[in-house]
Structure 1
């Protein structure tokens, strides 16, 4: 994040001295609330860190996986205690942004629950992550309340999924059940895996819909499992090695769209209930796509309708190789004439 910030500032002919940036690497293992307490104590017990955080003009939080609910709850606590200054009446109001990479906001893939590797690896903390699959559990409620505080405070939240993540579904990393104009959603695709095909563009298009304030009608949920990476892969980790992911969060914070008014940025988030399912109904995907197309047609959004036309051509040219992707193409066959 530090390197990305310096790169961003150089683009704008700004160069900071090393003492102008304070790095606060918070570390601590365990379950989410245990980690929150450890990180909080580490922070406030350092006078240098605490003062730097309180006096900063710009605060950037970079977090990964389980760190997403952990950092969100910690940030909400810092807001409530006045350590972060985000009130509109504060003459030194800070700009604050959170970057959540492969965040486990709606839990891991449901099929991992009985996986021996997961059960063995950090058993207690790992098992807690499955509680995020249900928005009604106690830890999910704590996370959602923290999200409400953070988003209502005007903090910009950038949620980036990893396309071939073997642990966190796409829908979980981009917080599909949470609606707020201050959330920016994106997907990281490793260069070796990138293909400019129908599926990649459909995912990108669905994220653009969400960033425009529209609904993707469950499309992201129903595409998540088919793009899951191998349990032995590295998709869950490679995301935090890509500097452009950090640059996106910085741009999202410092270059907000003109349409994002202060009132919108501090509005109440919509927190839909969510419960991950082990098996999804295959008929939902074509209906979801139909819902997207009907909404676009009704709204008459020119740019997005043009993108739908491009998707139609990509669909015709798409020749998926894997069983899962062939199934996706088959499910979308009934709506191809509407694409």
Structure 2
């Protein structure tokens, strides 16, 4: 094994092999991922600029959208450039500490994104069910504090993972069959007991996923009840249109993530490793790609401001 400290059995670096079994197709596989990454970066940066530029978008809903876009940018930028180095230049070596840093940012901002979706669901609930109290509930101070608490939640939950990974002995080698430092993929390279890694990882996914999804489900159940009771058809259509964009973002965020989690732990013998790696990359790049498209198409005020901005620039 290369670069091993014989005292601690901690490698100086890992070797990321990319997508196992499809090494000859890395160049072709990189095309759709690169296209999605460009769309994600342009879309999210454009959305942040638009909200900052347009005074009419300086509202709580759009501040949460900025948080979502920032999370998306951090998630895909932490992993995709590293994958492109593997696909295009065969640069597979990643420093051990850089691997831990990548793991920290990926999982922290994945949890942050889930929390932002909950905050956006609560924002829609208050806006539709308690419109007269909306501005007093979602003040700038409350929004800032909610963002900080959400970020702190992600950091505190992910930090133990780094401790567990750092304490493992790596006497089986330092080669990882992945495009980035996935928690359980790295742990499985170890020759130590990884039960605590598996249990803690599953606990985070189940507790955070269940809590956030329950909050979102309850919010939208109450929203639908309020929308149905609206007498105006135009008001119902506007409320449904606003909620549809958010529900679409939720589907794009949670579906690939849960599929990756379940296949990693229960489908390792039935689903090939290459499929798992591809899905693991998709759940990191798909939400950042689709979120600005979904919100741009479904949110009328963003469409109007986007057209106005281009007319002004023209």
TM-score by length of 2: 0.29
Structure number having the greater helix percentage: 2
TM-score by length of 1: 0.28
Q: Could you say which structure has the larger radius of gyration?
A: 2
Greater RCO structure (CA 8 Å; 6+ sep): 2
